[in-house]
A and B are shown apart, each in its own frame.
Chain A
Amino acid sequence: MNSSLIREFEDSVGTASVLYRPEDLLLYEYDGSVEKGRPDLVVFPTTTEQVSHIVKLAAKHRLPVVGRGAGTGLSGGALARTGGVMLVFARMNCILELDVENRRAVVQPGVVNYELTCAAEPHGLYFAPDPSSWKSCTIGGNVAENAGGPHTLAYGVTTNHVTALELVLPDGEIVRVGSKQGDTPGYDLTGLFVGSEGTLALVTEITVKLARKPEAVKTLLAIFDTVDDAAETVVDITARAITPSACEMLDGWTLRAVEDYIHVGFPMDSAAVLLIEVEGLTETVGAQAAAIIEVSNAHHAREVRVARDNAERELLWKGRKNAFGALGRLAPSNYVLDGVIPRSKLPQALRRIQKVGEQYGFQIGNIFHAGDGNLHPIVLFDPRDRKQFERALQAAAEIIRYCVEVGGALTGEHGVGMEKSELMPLLFSDADFDLMRRVHDAFNPDSSLNPGKIFPLSKGCGEIRVHSQSSTAPLRP
């Protein structure tokens, strides 16, 4: 990028808020996915007005603009696929208001998910969406991707907790949608923008609901000798309408990797464990835990442990939430899928994944939100071995295709991004893409905002325009 252009950005936000040297940009060319895309310029705005100003400046020079929080996303949503200006919201990280009485918080997009929960905790409140990356991911990123987490089983994903947004449109206009209470007359614009993956507008302020901390929690670890028994237990818990707040599965291979790393007490010789949590009134929790133990035993659980205290509970969750880190010790890279299936189809889906792994020569681990049918098969590979990488992608595509075949979806919480955009025609017709593109163009007519995401680039359906003035990074490693 030429120096006079860089100076224009520096003049508007200060030299300390702009990065442009290749060695500085390296840090922003990847996220939690297997994709890459390097921006030409990284800017750290501190106010909504600055965001608007930068967007206008970028528009003037016909540069694409991509928003980014902590870069923990798993679908390439926060990557500059076609270069341009990256807006990193790390410095817009203030909790602007905590309304305890009405259980609302107003935050800037760079606030870390866990920090909001910490701030709300003294008032007996917390922010319910809890992705595994909650200690680093930002609420702005959660909004863009409509992030989930283990406890969304009972409490819903990000969209169920957002009541209002302040947005900057691609032409720099600042608008507000929704309201603090949440019920606004007219179209549900908040519902549209949450999960639009930064392709319609940049989010500069978010109003969220806070949940009341439950008076009682019980955390159970059900241990199984076969994956099938664990899967059937989940099917049965769902069918009997027992509603735990979280129901996570780790298969034997994954739990051994976790146990080696974190030592939470997962039995090394088991085939699968279910980490199940029930919350609510003391009277409710006891009955639900008893029902879950009964169902688990009916499906031949070897043992069901109940966490004795908070320390034990936190240790079990530490094992779950750091699982991806544990797998990082086993291979240079891993590919985490995010397909969703009807919960009644869980046992056959896990058998199918196993088969696909054998077919392509991969050990595929499973650690996922079993309670809502959100699979996270993990394919370990070495990105330096291009053939292996291609095979990993093929195996992944086959699993996703299966999810769609049984009535499921491509992604439950990670987003489409640039990772799954080419798979979108599995689910959507030309007519669907036409309408989605008209909606896209209504807000982002020049595709200047986060180009190359969600819509497939391949011809036919959804040939969304992609600017190509920058080609600093290959699309794939």
Chain B
Amino acid sequence: MMNGSSSIAARLESALGPTQMVSDAATCANYAVDEMIPSAVAKPSSPEEVAELVRFAAREKLALIPSGARTKLRIGMTPARYDIALDMSALNKIAHYDPGDLTLGVDAGTPIAKLNATLLEHQQFLPLLVPWYSLTTIGGTIASGIDSPLRQFYGTARDFLIGAEFIDGTGKLCKSGGRVVKNVTGYDLHKLLIGSLGTLAVITRLNFRTFPAPLAGSRGFVASFPNAEGALTLRRAVAQSSLTPLTFDIVSPALAQVFSSRTPATLETAVFADENRNTNPSSLQPVGEWFRPHEWQLCAAFAGTPEVLDRYVRDLRRFATESCAASLAFLDEAARPAVWGRLRETLSLLLEFSADATVFKISVLPSQYGALFISLRQIADQAGLPHALVARGGGTIYFTLLPVPANDETTRRVAQAATQIFQLISAADGDATLLFAPPALNVSANIRGSSRSDSALMRKLKSAFDPQNIFAPGRFSGLF
């Protein structure tokens, strides 16, 4: 084994030179995926170098996994093979930015926080308020397919990713889409990269449309309810109104408890226009009275002119009262980040709270929330596992089992609950994915439950992009 890995490193070095490659054990261990450690770490500094590396890997039939800040490498199946870690963090330039056109092209390894800092100078931003915000790269965000509370208003990356450049499995630089906001020239291959976990191509450049950053004076709203029904009634009232909040999330009592008790390890960074003056990143303020640990909460953010803000306050207050809220609070711009920083960091907070937290991403229709909340709770209760939930306004639920303390017995119960959750969601015509799970669980379970009927089409696409199966083999699904 030692011979194998050192020979990979030696061949890589002779092919590419030592400057972009390291193979010492300590460095390689930093790039482990589910305890699999690569034989070498390459850090290319140009798309051409990436292409060269990929051609080398294709020739030698070596498996590559690209990564950025490595904050979300736990998402996905355990790789079937893993020879070379491709650290993309040296590709970190903003290639073009046309504030007048609200378009941007950026290298994959660019940290989102750095990117948004540049955009905020022009009162613009990219609405990807994703977990591990102060660390994560734009490439990792796209490849992991992680979403953001702001999807309520701005949609997901598929709605504003307008083009991409990437190295395909034959080692060629390819592109799709372009730099303009409206474009139907050729296949939308860049959309396939979203959530592809590095299995299709190595992303080198991403083009986006940017958005005006919410005006100074953005506000927050938190309403608390003794039970989920109240929060759901309020959700429905707002969804059927003319209000279009920026974020719109239901938080379960257990998650409120985690929010109240913890400050995210990842630092707060300016996201909205009104935070721009506070250029020094700092820890989030305590969450104060806003979250009531034994109650369900509905949280919304909104922005606009003073007249618009007044309208939101008026309507939200009325809807909350009609939904029998136990309490409601409007947060000014000073208090709002304490709440929204935590909402953004929900996943990182849960994983800090319990390293064995098992997080499901569930997609269903919002009208199914009421029944599913009850069933999910029953499954967790039967397994004797604490659980937390956040449900976005548009049908995305993050449901987390929190085995504390974790041991073989709790892992067995988590596995059992996972099977039940997959069955429940499948029966509801929804989709469930195991996003984060302890390695012991991850190797034994298909993270997507039963395979979908479109798996065969996905397999064909994988072969079209990566004919030799060198990109993150096995990561995406047990099938390929």
Contact A342 B431 (CB under 8 A): no
Which residues from B are CB-within-8-Å of A191? 158, 188, 191-192
Q: Is A438 an interface residue (CB 8 A)?
A: yes
Q: Is B410 an interface residue (CB 8 A)?
A: no
Residue of A284, A409, A440 ringed by the most chain B CB atoms within 10 A:
A409
Report the stretch among B57-65, B361-369, B374-382, B401-409 that lies at the interface: B361-369
The A-contacting residues of B in range 14-45, CB under 8 angstroms, are none
Q: How far is the CB of B310 from chain A (nearest CB, A)?
A: 8
Contact A287 B305 (CB under 8 A): yes
Contact B186 A436 (CB under 8 A): yes
Which residues from B are CB-within-8-Å of A431? 168, 172-174
Contact A175 B453 (CB under 8 A): yes
Contact A443 B172 (CB under 8 A): no
Contact B464 A183 (CB under 8 A): no
Contact B212 A284 (CB under 8 A): no
Question: If A101-B367, A238-B102, A281-B311 touch, does A176 touch B454 (CB 8 Å cutoff)?
Answer: yes
Q: How far is the CB of B319 from chain A (nearest CB, A)?
A: 15
Q: How far is the CB of A285 from chain B (nearest CB, A)?
A: 10
- How many of B's residues come within 8 Å of A, CB to CB? 78
Complex CA gap A243/B210 in Å reads 12
Digitize A420-450: 1 where CB-to-B-CB distance is under 8 Å, 0 elsewhere: 1000100111011011101111110000000
Report the stretch among B176-184, B383-391, B412-420 that lies at the interface: B176-184
Q: Is A340 an interface residue (CB 8 A)?
A: yes
Complex CA gap A181/B362 in Å reads 10
Q: How far is the CB of B171 from chain A (nearest CB, A)?
A: 9
Q: Is B322 an interface residue (CB 8 A)?
A: no
Complex CA gap A369/B183 in Å reads 13
Complex CA gap A180/B428 in Å reads 11
Which residues from A are CB-within-8-Å of B188? 146, 159, 191-192, 194-195
Complex CA gap A287/B158 in Å reads 30
Complex CA gap A438/B170 in Å reads 12
Contact A179 B431 (CB under 8 A): yes
Which residues from A are CB-within-8-Å of B196? 187
Contact B182 A340 (CB under 8 A): yes
Q: How far is the CB of B63 from chain A (nearest CB, A)?
A: 19
The B-contacting residues of A in range 333-366, CB under 8 angstroms, are 340-345
Contact A181 B464 (CB under 8 A): no
Which residues from B are CB-within-8-Å of A145? 184
Q: Is B195 an interface residue (CB 8 A)?
A: yes
Q: How far is the CB of B243 from chain A (nearest CB, A)?
A: 8
Contact of A428 among B175, B182, B430 (CB under 8 A): B175
Contact A342 B184 (CB under 8 A): no
Q: Is A122 an interface residue (CB 8 A)?
A: no
Q: Is A460 an interface residue (CB 8 A)?
A: no
Contact A186 B458 (CB under 8 A): yes
Which residues from B are CB-within-8-Å of A212? 242
Contact A148 B182 (CB under 8 A): yes
Residue of B nearest to A436 (CB): B187
Q: Is A214 an interface residue (CB 8 A)?
A: yes
Question: If A183-B395, A186-B195, A281-B308 touch, does A152 touch B182 (CB 8 Å cutoff)?
Answer: yes
The A-contacting residues of B in range 112-155, CB under 8 angstroms, are 123-124, 147, 155
Q: Is A102 an interface residue (CB 8 A)?
A: yes
Contact B159 A156 (CB under 8 A): yes
Residue of A nearest to B102 (CB): A238
Which residues from A are CB-within-8-Å of B159? 156, 160
Interface contacts beyond A102-B395, A342-B180, A369-B182: sample of 18 additional A-B pairs, CB < 8 Å, sorted by A = A99-B365, A101-B366, A175-B454, A181-B365, A181-B396, A184-B454, A185-B448, A186-B476, A282-B311, A287-B307, A342-B179, A374-B182, A413-B182, A413-B184, A435-B464, A436-B187, A438-B465, A440-B187
Listed from nearest, the 3 A-B pairs whose CB atoms lie closest are A241-B212, A191-B191, A344-B100
B→A interface (CB under 8 Å): 98-103, 123-124, 147, 155-156, 158-159, 168, 170, 172-176, 178-189, 191-192, 194-196, 200, 211-212, 242-244, 304-305, 307-308, 310-311, 361, 363-367, 394-396, 429-431, 433, 448, 452-458, 460-461, 463-465, 467, 476-477
A→B interface (CB under 8 Å): 99, 101-102, 104, 145-146, 148, 152, 156-157, 159-160, 175-177, 179-189, 191-192, 194-196, 212, 214-215, 235, 238-239, 241, 243, 280-284, 286-287, 340-345, 369, 372-374, 407-416, 420, 424, 427-429, 431-432, 434-436, 438-443, 454
User: Can you spell out 24 A-B residue pairs with CB atoms less than 8 angstroms apart?
Assistant: A152-B182, A156-B159, A177-B457, A179-B429, A179-B430, A184-B431, A189-B461, A194-B188, A196-B187, A241-B102, A241-B212, A243-B212, A283-B305, A284-B304, A284-B305, A287-B305, A342-B98, A345-B101, A408-B180, A413-B182, A439-B187, A439-B465, A454-B186, A454-B187
